[in-house]
Structure 1
Amino acid sequence: MKLVKTALALALLQSLLACTTVGPDYRVPDKAVVNNPSAAGSFIGAHDPAVAIAPVPDDWWKLYDDPQLNGLVQQAMTANTELRVASANLRRAVYIMGQVEAEGGLHGGFDFAAKRAQESGESFLLTEKLPVLNEGDVGLAVSYDLDLFGKLKRGEEAAHANAEGAQAALDLARVNVVAQTVRAYVMACSANRELSVAQHELDLQNHSVDITRRMANAGRGRNTDVLRAAAQADMLRANLPRFQADHDAAIYQLAVMVGKTPAEITQASIQCAEEPRLSQAIPVGDGAALLKRRPDIREAERQLATATAKIGVATADLYPDIKIGASVGSTGIFADLGTPAANRWGIGPLISWTIPDSGSRARIHAAEASTDAALGHFDGVVLGALKETETALTRYTHDLQRNADLRAARDKARQVAAENRTMYKAGRAPFLTSLDSDRTLASADAALAGSDSQLAQDQINLFLALGGGWQSAAKAQTTAEN
């Protein structure tokens, strides 16, 4: 009956103090940038025909309607090394969370010992020598931490937030892997396009060299005209190795993204003559959707929650730690184990308390400073996300206008070059005029190809800033793992 009364008294004490959870309860501070109304509004650069105020699709790379690209992204989601690391970090955080949660449960232990020994008589206040005996000890103990001041609860909050932060880090890795895979593919295609343009211009110039040489041999031109034309051909030919190197580097990057060595992916396995084209205007959504979608924002917010919970853990160290426990066992001569003379039992609370000192207060202040730092980091991530998105938007829309102007200039240069070439063959225009127009066309073609490549990179930068892709990537990776 006494045992029951003791247990009831301790349970009542715990219920009375259950609401005493020290430290601040977490919520996103009102002063956080994420709560600023201007952060959730429309993007400044969203008012352009090239973009649409529509939700960003989970699988944005499928807007290119390129089966080869879709397959590469799927491979990256199952084999990329960065994702393997992030996934392992998440599993570790989940196991740590389970470990912390287990600290608040019922704990038990069993021990058994046997030895042959001669005990000291004086330790029992005896003057004679004690005989050598077989001794034994067997016992079972259970305990439960009442967590009266919420140290374990705050620890669980911190562990949960840390695991959720690890999940956000994995999602962020997925966003980056998708973007890097698409970027490497686009770079390979752009290099093919620029190489083709350069080769075409070189072929035209070689043809011009041949015509110039024949006209010089026929007495209708000068040898210097042949040398000028040949020099222009050499200049164009010098561009070819650079584009080939860019193509090879992109292929090797693709190999890494899909978890292969450079030797395992062949040059012929990536077939694309130019950059993939979007089938519609880029959907960008608004600031509110961005703040919810970007994994790095979610990760920073969870880090703030973790830091806040650790203030409670540090504060709870100022107070006693009370456990209730019970034990039963038998200790004595081995032959007497289990008999009333050797049996023992006990029940009651165990109170441990380290008297607070200046160091204890310093730990709390350190935890508070860490929370301030986490809030500053959270605000910085939000501001950085908005800046990256607006910057990517304005670069894309302005590069689109530049691309249109370069395309118009290239078309005019092509027309002029064709007319001057015809007039030169007919003897109605000097060679230098034809040569200059060919140079202008070559420059215009190269500039347009470079602009097309930059536009493709701008699109990827914009999708990366928008933070999309991790949802479908997560589903694809889960499906592959199952």
Structure 2
Amino acid sequence: MNRTDNPSVLPALACLLVLFSGCAMVGPNFTKPAAPDMVRYTEGDQPATASGHDKSQTFNKNQEVQADWWKLFHSTALNDLIEAGLKNNPSVAAAEAALNNALESTNAQRSNLMIPAVNAQVGETRQRLSPEAFGFPGNPNTFSLTNASVDVSYTLDFFGANRRQLESMEAQVAAERYLLQAARVTLTANIVTTAIREAALREQLRASDAVERLESKTLSILETREKLGAISQTEVQLQRATLAQTRATIP
């Protein structure tokens, strides 16, 4: 009797089919989460315009920002600072190394799991055959014997474990790429912020020096007038106190 005609075998076969169909892929399929429903990073709306040094500035929140956004300042010195920082920063170098490592590991694993392995061999040997070994008279003959073989192997992925592993490694590559971008953005933002703050401090120091020179001249004039009896000693002392306060703010 044929086994497939046995009623007790049919339920077992059905269970096996259901099991294999349910395990076609290991693990659930990845579903990209929805982005947060946000239109801005601040609590309230920002003003449409802001007054600048020479003219007002207009904010366009829908405009794409270029990758090298610091070049919009049109400062060669700032560009040189950022270029040197990106080349010599250890955090950026570590992020680049991590990304390269993830890429190489993923490519190597993809080759091992998804691409058939082919191994070809060719060998040649010299053979010497004597008819006397088979009981026949004659002189020995020398000839070349060439052997060629090709081996092809492939890892079967019935349940999708290999594909899931590659998906995980590709996700790691994407994560390392975003970490590298974050390191670069953080570094460039810190350099620009520090450069602007330094420029502001330099301007503040230059203004303080100018004020100190003017107050020194004013004190000299008041001292001359005090000697001539035009003003009292109190006005001179007040000017000296003002000059001392100004000098205290200068590093």
> What does 1:12-411 correspond to in 2, within 5 Å?
20-29=24-33, 32=34, 34=35, 36=37, 39-40=38-39, 44-50=44-50, 51-58=59-66, 59-104=68-113, 105-106=115-116, 144-241=154-251
Cα drift, residue 168 of structure 1 = 1.1
- When normalised by structure 1's length, the TM-score is 0.36
Q: Which amino acid is 2:90 matched to?
A: T
**Structure 1 residues 181 and 40: CA distance shift in structure 2, 3 A:** same
State whether residues 216 and 223 of structure 1, in contact with CA within 8 Å, keep that contact through their aligned partners in structure 2: yes
One-letter amino acid of the counterpart of residue 242, structure 2: Q
- Deviation of the 1:76 alpha carbon: 2.5
1:260-289 CA distances to partner (integer Å, 9 max, x unpaired)? xxxxxxxxxxxxxxxxxxxxxxxxxxxxxx
User: What is the alpha-carbon distance in structure 2 between the residues aligned to residue 198 and residue 93 of structure 1?
Assistant: 54
* In structure 2, distance between residues paired with 1:142 and 1:18: 30
User: Partner amino acid for 2:250?
Assistant: L
Q: Cα offset for 1:35?
A: 5.1
In 1: Cα distance, 2:170 partner to 2:191 partner: 32
Deviations 1:272-313 (A, max 9, x none): xxxxxxxxxxxxxxxxxxxxxxxxxxxxxxxxxxxxxxxxxx
* Cα distance in structure 1, aligned partners of 2:239 and 2:77: 41
Distance verdict in 2 for CA 1:198–1:213, change over 3 Å? same
Distance, in Å, in 2 between the alignment partners of 1:223 and 1:230 is 11
Task: Give 1:20 deviation, angstroms.
Answer: 0.6
Q: Distance in 2 between matches of 1:69 and 1:47?
A: 28
Write the letter of the residue equivalent to 2:65: P
Label 1:53 to 1:40 Cα distance change in 2 as closer, same or farther (>3 A).
Answer: closer
Residue 89 of structure 1 contacts residue 166 of structure 1 at CA under 8 Å; is this kept in 2? Answer: yes
**RMSD of Structure 2 on Structure 1 (CA):** 3.0
Give CA-to-partner distance per residue, 1:133-188, whole Å, 9 cap, x none.
Answer: xxxxxxxx985432221111111001001101111111111111211121121122
Q: Is the 8 A contact 1:202 1:236 kept in 2?
A: yes
Q: CA deviation at 1:52?
A: 2.2
- Closer, same or farther: CA 172–99 of 1 in aligned 2, 3 Å: same
In the TM superposition, structure 1's runs of 4+ consecutive aligned residues that sit over 6 Å from their partners are 16-19
Residue identity matched to 2:48: D
Gaps in structure 2 of 5+ consecutive residues: 1-19, 51-58, 120-150
Q: 1:200 to 1:180 in 2, by over 3 A?
A: same
Amino acid at match of 1:77: L
Which SS does the other structure have where 1:56 is aligned? coil
- Return the TM-score normalized by structure 2: 0.66
Q: Larger helix proportion, structure 1 or 2?
A: 1
Cα distance in 1 for residues equivalent to 2:86 and 2:36: 33
Q: After TM superposition, give the deviation of residue 199 of structure 1 in Å.
A: 0.9
Counterpart Cα distance in 1 of 2:36 and 2:228: 80
1:71 and 1:180 mapped to 2: Cα distance? 14
Q: How far apart in 2 are the matches of 1:147 and 1:67?
A: 56
Q: Is the 8 A contact 1:17 1:148 kept in 2?
A: no
- Ranked by relative contact order (alpha carbons within 8 Å, sequence separation 6 or more), the top structure is 1
Secondary structure in 1 matching 2:243: helix
Closer, same or farther: CA 188–35 of 1 in aligned 2, 3 Å: closer
Post-superposition offset of 1:94: 1.1
Q: Is contact 1:73-1:181 (8 Å) kept?
A: yes
Q: Which residues in structure 2 correspond to 1:444-459 (within 5 Å)?
A: none
Counterpart residue type for residue 49 of structure 1: T
Larger Rg: 2
The structural deviation recorded for 1:25 is: 0.8
Percent identity (aligned): 24
Structure 1 spans left out of the alignment, 5+ residues = 1-15, 110-140, 242-482
Equivalents in 1 of 2:208, 2:40: separation in Å? 45
